[in-house]
Structure 1
């Protein structure tokens, strides 16, 4: 959800960030996080911790792989944080897409529903046992996204604790995007299009590559929300010790860093809405 990510970026910003650097209230919505599996998981974990500890929200975190310890990036970003201190974050280790769907469908039975539902790596669920090639994943992907969307909407209406709506934050790693010269969109682009129907906000993490440097230590973060809101851009840096830091990109720097494909994709999404 764009509002949670805005709080995360501000909380872990390097230096002071202006109060207007956050998605406006009307831009809140379910969010799709695209990027490398390891760095996107770190962003999801930061969002879960921020929602639970800073905002006092209940968080439900779906993932296939149990966490034996806190991610290095989280331990470095929040020194002294203990896994057992995250009492408001419930981890659900659904191993298959079927389990994820069944668990989501039963959330309406909870006495204390979550305010934030996080799904770590929908693409891994879609490529699990019993799921066909990527072009056959579109229906399961749309079904899972629609169910998450409808469940969050139902829980939002059910809530009576004054903590606001329930939102979905979902990560996915697309192997590649179709070429701009392709006559027809590839299966990865069709998958993202199916997810965009139910996840109104997209947060894209792109590694910054420089000649002569090794390793991942810097990413551009593009946060696109429904029109007429402008595209937001942040720089995310992995500091020595593995702490994550964010800072907003403004003015001339944003014009230099902006990619034409981003603007075109954002315009296409606006046209679809």
Structure 2
């Protein structure tokens, strides 16, 4: 189960759903999640995840992104109005410019200087596509086998790093383990498939799905609901992948609200984000 993401969804659930039983399930031994969809929305969700993990779960977070963050976005400030300096210190931002830079910085997490006194227990990578495909005016056209190989190389290193850091955390009897990985990716194909179905024409996304256990697909609702409800945007969120199906096999067949695999993200004009069970 995508325990960190669902923790975020539950934390910022809309008031109408507060009475719903949303107990958090025990975390799995490992979990890697891929957030697929619009860059701006996925980045806001990643930042909200980093802050939630640091403030509520006491986790040390490593956040990789090409775009420097000068200040927290308005949406995050409205969702979490009072952030302590101690919380922000648990989040380390790193700004690799190229895929080679990202690979080098990721590999450096194996070094003792980065595992002492406490290694990160959450690794976040913003916009994998920008590292794998470069900036092409918003287009991913022109894929070639080398980019698929790079996707596999980077994904394997992410999984290996998470496994290594999980061992370090276990050796130190840390309560914040295991180490999780969450990354975002915007596909060339339309990510808004009905029911969260993955697009069929993106070879890089096909490669990523082999490594990431859970797919979290963002699908914008283009109907009339946002304007009529005083909202700016409404997004559907679908959780899928082998991490979801494997977790389902270990649970009762009874469908329980607290384990829903579909949510809505409500974005208000002031940037406030709320999540709603579907």
TM-score norm. by structure 2 comes to 0.79
Write out per-residue CA displacement over residues 37-73 of structure 1, whole angstroms, 9 at most, x where no aligned residue.
0000000000000000111000000000111111111
The Cα shift of 1:209 comes to 0.2
Instruction: Compute the RMSD of aligned alpha carbons.
Output: 2.7
Residue 13 of structure 2 is matched in structure 1 by: 13
1:106–1:36 CA distance, 2 compared to 1 (3 A): same
Write out per-residue CA displacement over residues 137-182 of structure 1, whole angstroms, 9 at most, x where no aligned residue.
1110111011000110011011112322001000000020599xxx
Question: Which among 121, 132, 143 is matched to residue 134 of structure 1?
Answer: 143
Structure 1 runs not aligned, ≥5 long = 180-184, 250-273
Are positions 1:236 and 2:242 aligned together?
no
Q: Residue 221 of structure 1 contacts residue 233 of structure 1 at CA under 8 Å; is this kept in 2?
A: yes
Alignment of 1:60-139 (within 5 A): 60-81=62-83, 85-109=87-111, 110=114, 111=116, 112-128=118-134, 133-136=142-145, 137-139=147-149
1:55–1:128 CA distance, 2 compared to 1 (3 A): same
Please state whether the residue corresponding to 2:244 is helix, strand or coil. Answer: coil
TM-score norm. by structure 1 comes to 0.80
Structure 2 runs not aligned, ≥5 long = 194-199, 249-258
1:10–1:231 CA distance, 2 compared to 1 (3 A): closer
Please state whether the residue corresponding to 2:188 is helix, strand or coil. Answer: coil
Q: Residue 21 of structure 1 contacts residue 248 of structure 1 at CA under 8 Å; is this kept in 2?
A: no
Q: 2-side partners of 1:132 and 1:95: how far apart?
A: 21
Q: Residue 220 of structure 2 contacts residue 236 of structure 2 at CA under 8 Å; is this kept in 1?
A: yes
Question: Which among 27, 31, 41 is matched to residue 33 of structure 2?
Answer: 31
Q: 2-side partners of 1:88 and 1:74: how far apart?
A: 17
Alignment of 1:1-273 (within 5 A): 2-15=2-15, 16=18, 18-20=20-22, 25-26=27-28, 29-81=31-83, 85-109=87-111, 110=114, 111=116, 112-128=118-134, 133-136=142-145, 137-159=147-169, 160=172, 161-176=174-189, 186=201, 188=202, 190-210=203-223, 217-224=233-240, 225-228=243-246, 229=248, 232-249=261-278
Write out per-residue CA displacement over residues 9-55 of structure 1, whole angstroms, 9 at most, x where no aligned residue.
01111121534465664485100000100000000000000000111
Q: Residue 10 of structure 1 contacts residue 17 of structure 1 at CA under 8 Å; is this kept in 2?
A: no
Q: 1-side partners of 2:226 and 2:106: how far apart?
A: 43
